[in-house]
């Protein structure tokens, strides 16, 4: 009898210890507390992502706010009074009532959770609350923290790239200009592009590839970053004279991460995104001419190799074997990201844009190669028709010398501007 009692007591003690262990383990699981103003909404599961930031469980966030997702198992979708909040598996963007917000990493469904970047989530939630008529004011705190005081709510507005990153001397992007201010300037040409009934102009974001400590291709005494910037400023002037609202990812010699460039286009609700570059060939090989690329699976081996080269910017332009391998790996991962619904939505539109640009350049007598496709990181997640232009090869001495002249770049840019304006007129865009 005593032995049976001891066995029972031992069993009870073991069970109690196991219960305590599980409780302590659960309590120690990593979480962040989501607060709306001075009201705690809930503790949300957290994990460290590949960029050393924090991802949060989207479905737990939605539940903590008392929101209900739809029955769509392919995404986490919330609909309130016709206003949509959409998270899609493997997507690098989130849609908030039609507006697009870029994520530093694609959404991942792993370990029973939908994971998305915690910092981006605050901006997204505040924007959705604003859309449905509620006050913004979301924030993350550690589980043992409480707000010191209620912070005044601020109107949510997508950041411009100049607000995200400020160079030491000059702003990266010019301030937005109102239509009224532009029309007051002398000698403004009447709009040759279609505008909405409200008088808003199409927005084109121009991106000068590379910059700062990343020179891009260097050959025949010329740095790619310098030619890219000069060409973008020339192209912007032409487009502005045609009535297009032009915004620049950079107007000075500064370095920007690839993801920042696309995010700037998305946050400015651009109707067209153009990234401008110069090409290069390895020693012993030769090529010359103009090429247009869209974000899609590679059309051939050379297109893939060019994407790998351009994507070295992911590693801040470093040249070590490890950094090259990392850029290579991330480029190949982009092939998976092309399953992203938002990106696929835009491939056909981007293809049409590049075909129009190709036709315009061809009719201008410019040295053409062809339209290609490749997984360029800078075009990842762009929520609008987008194209990467390789203006020519710096490794070709004759072409490098031409690219370094104002007149030849002017001919290139007038061709590009004509193609962009033609595309906008033939495929009317929704100005958001």
Q: What CA–CA distance (Å, rounded) separates 156 from 194?
A: 29
| pLDDT given for residue 177 in this prediction | 38
Sequence ranges of the domains in the chain: 30-141, 161-426
pLDDT per position as a tens digit, 301-331: 554 555 555 555 544 444 555 555 555 555 4
pLDDT value of residue 5: 52
Percentage of the chain with pLDDT > 90?
38
> Could you say which of 3.50.50.60, 3.30.10.20, 3.40.630.40, 1.10.630.10 is the CATH number of the domain covering 161-426?
3.40.630.40
**Mind listing the pLDDT tens digit for each residue in 118-153?**
998 999 999 999 989 999 999 999 988 888 764 444
The pTM is what?
0.52
Helix H or strand E encompassing 102: strand 99-102
Least confident residue range of 57-71, 226-240, 374-388, 402-416: 374-388
pLDDT of residue 432: 46
Q: Which helix H or strand E contains 108, and what residues bound it? A: strand 108-110
* Domain range 30-141, CATH class: alpha beta
Mean pLDDT confidence for 318-347: 51
Average pLDDT of the chain to the nearest whole number: 76
- CA dist 314 and 331 (Å) reads 9
Mean pLDDT value of segment 191-219:
80
Helices 406-426 & 341-363, crossing angle to 10 degrees?
Answer: 120
SS3 of 392, please?
Answer: strand
**pLDDT tens profile 246-275:** 999 999 999 998 878 888 998 999 999 999
How confident is the model over 352-377, as a mean pLDDT? 80
pLDDT (mean) for 215-224: 93
Cα separation, 68 vs 135, whole angstroms: 19
Report the chain's C-alpha Rg in angstroms.
26
pLDDT tens-digit series, residues 159-199: 334 344 444 443 333 333 333 333 333 333 334 566 554 56
Q: What is the pLDDT of residue 225?
A: 96
Across the range 41-47, mean pLDDT stands at 94
């Amino acid at each position: 009898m005593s032995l049976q009692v001891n066995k029972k007591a031992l069993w009870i003690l073991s069970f109690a210890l196991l219960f305590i262990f599980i409780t302590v383990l659960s309590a120690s699981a990593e979480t962040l507390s989501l607060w709306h103003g001075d009201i705690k909404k809930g503790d949300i599961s957290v994990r460290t992502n590949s960029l050393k930031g924090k991802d949060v469980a989207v479905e737990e966030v939605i539940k903590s706010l008392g929101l209900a997702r739809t029955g769509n198992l392919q995404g986490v979708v919330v609909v309130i009074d016709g206003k949509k909040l959409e998270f899609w598996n493997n997507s690098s963007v989130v849609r908030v009532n039609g507006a697009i917000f870029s994520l530093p990493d694609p959404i991942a469904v792993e370990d029973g959770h939908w994971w998305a970047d915690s910092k981006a989530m605050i901006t997204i939630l505040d924007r959705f609350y604003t859309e449905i008529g509620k006050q913004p004011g979301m924030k993350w705190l550690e589980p043992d923290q409480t707000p010191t005081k209620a912070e005044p709510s601020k109107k949510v507005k997508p950041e411009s790239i100049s607000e995200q990153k400020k160079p030491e001397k000059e702003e990266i992007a010019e301030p937005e200009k109102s239509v009224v201010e532009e029309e007051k300037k002398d000698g403004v040409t009447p709009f040759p592009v279609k505008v909405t009934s409200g008088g808003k102009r199409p927005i084109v974001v121009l991106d000068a590839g590379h910059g700062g400590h990343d020179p891009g291709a260097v050959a025949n005494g010329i740095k790619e970053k310098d030619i890219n910037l000069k060409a973008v400023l020339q192209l912007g002037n032409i487009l502005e004279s045609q009535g297009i609202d032009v915004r620049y990812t950079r107007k000075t010699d500064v370095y920007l991460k690839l993801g920042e460039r696309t995010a700037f286009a998305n946050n400015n609700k651009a109707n067209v995104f153009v990234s401008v570059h110069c090409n290069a060939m390895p020693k012993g090989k030769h090529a010359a001419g103009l090429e247009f690329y869209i974000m899609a699976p590679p059309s051939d081996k050379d297109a893939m190799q060019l994407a790998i080269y351009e994507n070295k910017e992911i590693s801040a332009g470093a040249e070590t074997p490890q950094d090259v391998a990392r850029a290579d790996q991330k480029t190949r991962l982009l092939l998976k990201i092309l399953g992203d619904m938002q990106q696929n939505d835009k491939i056909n539109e981007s293809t049409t844009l590049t075909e129009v640009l190709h036709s315009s350049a061809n009719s201008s007598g410019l040295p053409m190669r062809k339209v290609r496709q490749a997984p360029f990181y800078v075009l990842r997640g762009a929520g609008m028709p987008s194209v990467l232009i390789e203006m020519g090869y710096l490794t070709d001495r004759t072409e490098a010398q031409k690219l370094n002249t104002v007149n030849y770049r002017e001919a290139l840019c007038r061709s590009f501007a004509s193609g962009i304006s033609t595309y906008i007129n033939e495929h009317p865009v929704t100005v958001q």
